[in-house]
Structure 1
Amino acid sequence: MKILIIEDSEILRRSLVVGLNHLGFATDETGDGAIGLKMALQNTYDVIILDLMLPNLDGMALLQTLRNKNSPARVLILSAKNQTQDRVDGLLKGADDYLTKPFSFDELHARILTLMRRGGLEHSDDSLTVGDFRLNLASRTFTYLDRSIELTPNEFKILECLFSKPNRVVSLEKISEAVVGHYDYLSKNAIEVHISAIRRKVRAVDGQLPIQNKRGFGYTISQ
């Protein structure tokens, strides 16, 4: 699952990135409204966390443009504006949720999970399956025949990327983007290390994950 954070406070923005990445979400971020709109239109995001008071383009104008362009992304407004009319305006103009500052990170996480469960998001049943393997996107858990396998956040993101495209070759670039976003890069060697670790963990519960390395192209998982 990919989240775009558009928030002009660098301290809050970086805090959100660290917290959401720790939970296993892939994130992109910016503090500029115009840049945020460009990113939202050029890329695919499941959820956009949107501040209202932004430089170059305010959050309400950004939201209206997204809805006029029929963007399917769920938008969660995160704003210091806490009057009832502010919340009403945001929801009427197309936001899916509105959370006022200051806020609890646990509440933000819960609201993101709620948005995931609403119709219209990919994987709305909260889980992906390949054979006897199940990846639960809401609880961020991975099981084989109901036996739990502990994954790191990066390992989970790699499997989510592969499980969402079974029987198709997923490029190293797409895997890297799923793990660290558009503005960083995960090397081929690092991806291989993560996948080797996943395989070891699966073998420890007597399973065998059907991941194949298509050299020069990427990886595929057989359904």
Structure 2
Amino acid sequence: MTQDELKRLVGQAAADYVNANVPEGTVIGVGTGSTANCFIDAIAAHKHRYRGAVSSSVATTARLAQHGIKVFDLNEIESLPVYVDGADEIDPKGAMIKGGGGALTREKIVASVSEVFVCIADASKRVPVLGGFALPVEVVPMARTAIGRRLTALGGVPVLRVTQDGAPYITDNGNEILDVKHLTIHDPRALEAEINAWPGVVTVGLFAGRGADFCLLGSEAGVETIDYRSDR
């Protein structure tokens, strides 16, 4: 199967999981990116079961609206039984690098309040150690150079994310992103806490303190369900 076919496979598997495990009339959390889009497309056929969704980005809000799914502000919601999102990398304990699509801050906020975090990914995203994918760090623009120096001191190579015309990429929150290459992240939880503590960092794209509870991993053999909760 192609990577797109694998994404559709796990998107459908996530919709099946949500339909089987999440009560009717609730609000679900939805992530950002091409794999999350496959989940949105799959869950749209069952949208009558749910009050609506909390979105992690402007792009996801638009796709949900296209399917006629009501989008709630997180401040309107008392509980979120499930959050479904993709990953750029995921390690054997469910820690992830996320943010390739630029929505890491809102993704982390929605994930933090969800009862269950379901990661959906193709098998290429499973790695023994995080760091092969450049680590996104969303920063307040005035702190970009200062944060870059600190990331370099960690052994990384920070690169400002830019658009096709060479302008700085601006997040939905009005900030910039440094993509940090050449890191080997043996302790993602500790590195997440360290970088998040630096003044000027909005958030780092390490999801370790709140990692995935499950991963629905698509491969040629089908969809593998991995449960990380016993490792915590």
TM-score (norm 1): 0.31
Q: Which has the higher helix share?
A: 1
TM-score (norm 2): 0.31
